[in-house]
Structure 1
Amino acid sequence: MSWLTEHVRPKLRSLLQRDVPDNLWTNCESCSQMMLTKELVRKKKVCPHCGHHMRATAHERMKWTFDDGQYTTIDLPAVPADPLHFRDSKRYTDRLKTARSKAGLDDSLLVAHGRIDGREAVVAVMAFEFMAGTMGSALGEAFLTACREAIQRKAPLIIFTASGGARMQEGVVSLMQMPRTTIGVEMLREAGLPYLVVLTNPTTGGVSASFAMLGDIHIAEPNALIAFAGPRVIRDTVREELPEGFQRSEYLKDHGMVDIIASRAELPALLGRLIGMLSPTANGDAKAARAS
């Protein structure tokens, strides 16, 4: 018994008590199926069982979008950190500091340039992981920077939206970003450059009421919530039951607000085709190819 007690039993106990990492498995919030996190990331955070598109970080979307995952981030201008000296249960500056530490971003918009299907493009991605992707003065300034970068490079601008709306800690300063971003879209149109919007879950509030719905083409991920006010608020206001799938991608496509619904696996190729069709240099490239 001593051999079993001293050697075999401790080995068995160590095997049974081995620590399992907390992030080894992920539970799908739609179908409740469990899957290996590594496998889920390989599938671009799309559930292999039900096709549910889970939230992705800004850097993940950049990596999935550009050729070979290669891109160059664009430096964004600094803005006043707390224009209203706002405080609720915490100071706004403290909230920003915490959000920057957790997300690894300066604010809720990341901008980069690179190639999609071999064509130059500027891509802006809203980071829901940064204060729910809310829109403040930093986002407005970053969006205008993305527009200017696209114009300078004579490249299309693609934006991935994901937002809870305007940032309450900046009050009217946040609301003023709605007309400012609209001006940025007009700058792109005057330059004759494509502006493509990819609507992801959720896209709401002042973002959906401004630059998110001004694209030349609107693409949406499956079953994404796209709205100004959420369904619960509307239901409580009108005191009626809402149609099935109300304010989801499929409902908006049926009613003419969304042009295309595409899964993440389809998006890079789809964006490449659209850039090729809409780019102002596309016809010139085709003529050059025929001449050669």
Structure 2
Amino acid sequence: MVKTKNIQNASDSLWEKCERCSEFEFMQTLARNSYLCQHCGHYYDMPALSRLKQIFQNKFEKITLPLENDILICSGEGTISGSQVVLIAISHIGELQIEHLDSFLITIQHAIAVRMPLIVISSGMNHSKSKISLSYIAQIAIEMNFHKQMNLLQISVLTDGNMTDSLSAIFPLGDLTLVEWEAEDNRLTTPLDAFVDRYVLRHEIPVLIGQLLSWSSENK
């Protein structure tokens, strides 16, 4: 581990400062450790492409999206515990744009076309300042419902514990809702917890998703 005092003139492209403990992490080390601070255990915001690599263990086929920036949004098709699934990962987006919704809609339609379960991992979208038409958002809800009517599992993983600012505020949640949380978090029970099936640590997410897919397959 590298302490802050040992870093001088650190390049922004090589090092990242933890917002919790203020220590610096080497970017390559962060990537290898699923963007977990080695000093305090804080979760850095994980790039969308890195999410897919983590869940699919680097074996997946990317879905072509309008946005080429796979740090913010990335979709792919791959296998988890023997089940073929479609997954979209959404990193934290400052302001909701039409291209973001297009990417989400394309991913849902792809899952419908190939008749596969859909997994949505989201850090949330800031829609308070968005000028996106509600009718466009309604179209996404319709497609999500159509996918669900095909008896295909939907899993939502919210990586922002503040659900009021998360993707769930404007889009329907899946059949199962997981919230990624840090071991040090002291969560209070609130009415919003009724929407959460389970709080889970980052490194446990791939295994838990695999278990849920296996359970769903066995109970069809």
TM-score by length of 2: 0.79
Gaps of 5+ in 2: 1-7
Per the TM alignment, residue 65 of structure 1 is displaced from its structure 2 partner at its CA by 0.9
> Which residue of structure 2 lines up, in the alignment, with residue 112 of structure 1?
76
* CA shift in 2, pair 1:21/1:108, >3 Å: closer
* CA shift in 2, pair 1:186/1:251, >3 Å: same
Matched residues in 1 for 2:148 and 2:179: separation?
A: 22
Higher helix proportion: 1
> Which residue of structure 1 lines up, in the alignment, with residue 173 of structure 2?
214
Establish whether residue 278 from structure 1 lines up as the match of residue 216 from structure 2. Answer: yes
Identical amino acids, percent of aligned pairs = 27
Establish whether residue 262 from structure 1 lines up as the match of residue 200 from structure 2. Answer: yes
Q: Is the 8 A contact 1:222 1:249 kept in 2?
A: no
Larger Rg: 1
Alignment of 1:88-99 (within 5 A): none
Instruction: Number of aligned residue pairs: give it.
Output: 210
Deviations 1:227-280 (A, max 9, x none): xxxxxxxxxxxxxxxxxx8xx96645883221111122111111111111123x
Gaps of 5+ in 1: 1-17, 79-99, 224-244, 285-292
> What SS does the corresponding residue of 1:276 show, helix, strand or coil?
helix
Deviations 1:196-253 (A, max 9, x none): 0010136655833232x52111111116xxxxxxxxxxxxxxxxxxxxx8xx966458
Per the TM alignment, residue 147 of structure 1 is displaced from its structure 2 partner at its CA by 2.0
> What SS does the corresponding residue of 1:255 show, helix, strand or coil?
helix
Q: Is the 8 A contact 2:48 2:71 kept in 1?
A: no
Alignment of 1:14-33 (within 5 A): 21-33=11-23
Per the TM alignment, residue 26 of structure 1 is displaced from its structure 2 partner at its CA by 3.0
Per the TM alignment, residue 188 of structure 1 is displaced from its structure 2 partner at its CA by 1.6
Matched residues in 1 for 2:215 and 2:20: separation?
A: 36
Per the TM alignment, residue 177 of structure 1 is displaced from its structure 2 partner at its CA by 3.3
TM-score by length of 1: 0.62
> Which residue of structure 1 lines up, in the alignment, with residue 52 of structure 2?
62
Instruction: Give the alignment partner of residue 64 of structure 2, picking from 51, 54, 75.
Output: 75
* CA shift in 2, pair 1:149/1:109, >3 Å: same
Alignment of 1:116-195 (within 5 A): 116-128=80-92, 131-132=93-94, 134-166=95-127, 168=129, 171-173=131-133, 175-195=134-154
Matched residues in 1 for 2:166 and 2:136: separation?
A: 9
